[in-house]
Amino acid sequence: MDSTVNPTATICHDDPAIGDSERLWRLVGTVADPAVPGGMRPESGSLRDERMSVNRAKLSTLEETLSLQPDREIAEFTAASVRELGLRVYADPCYVCRRCGRHLGGEPMTCLGCNSDERIYHNRAHAIVCPAMSRSDARKFAKEKTELVEITREARESARRLQ
């Protein structure tokens, strides 16, 4: 293995520095569900990635989190709620291209997706939840363990300006 690669950055592990009460934000699509308050909930498929990217709310803002996909919604849940499913969560600060949305990893570089080096920012709030939830767990989690964050028109416009 390459000695410059940090193995904890690629191996699914639980980070004790992320407390159970810490709020995590995930960009999601939504579906109508009259059984939940507000009538909308996250699409369960939005919660099923093998390495689910989230932002740690205490290290980010709504605008920064929305900046890559300003038309999406943000689902909020706690680290404890994913740990209850036997999943793990760990910090994974990375560089991201705001122009095309590509995650570039731990070192700043020119984006391989769009060749931009002007729109790169360091997302210190980025974390990973892993491994993937089962379909049934994701559906139940979306209904019972998440809340959609209220996003104002001003916050969306500010996020678009960050792009």
Indicate the domain borders of the chain: 22-92+125-154
Note the pLDDT of residue 6: 47
pLDDT at 20 over 70: yes
Residue 139 tokens read as 């559906």
Among candidate residues 26, 12, 15, the one with its CA nearest the CA of residue 148: 26
Mean predicted lDDT score pLDDT of the chain: 90
Between 97 and 142, the more confident residue is: 142
Q: What is the mean pLDDT of residues 93-104?
A: 87
Note the pLDDT of residue 119: 80
**In the chain, what percentage of residues exceed pLDDT 90?**
72
CATH fold group of domain 22-92+125-154 = ADP-ribosylation fold (3.20.170)
pLDDT tens for residues 49-90? 999 999 999 999 999 999 989 999 999 999 999 999 999 999
CA-to-CA dists, residue 149 to 11, 13, 23, 101, 155, angstroms: 30, 27, 11, 21, 12
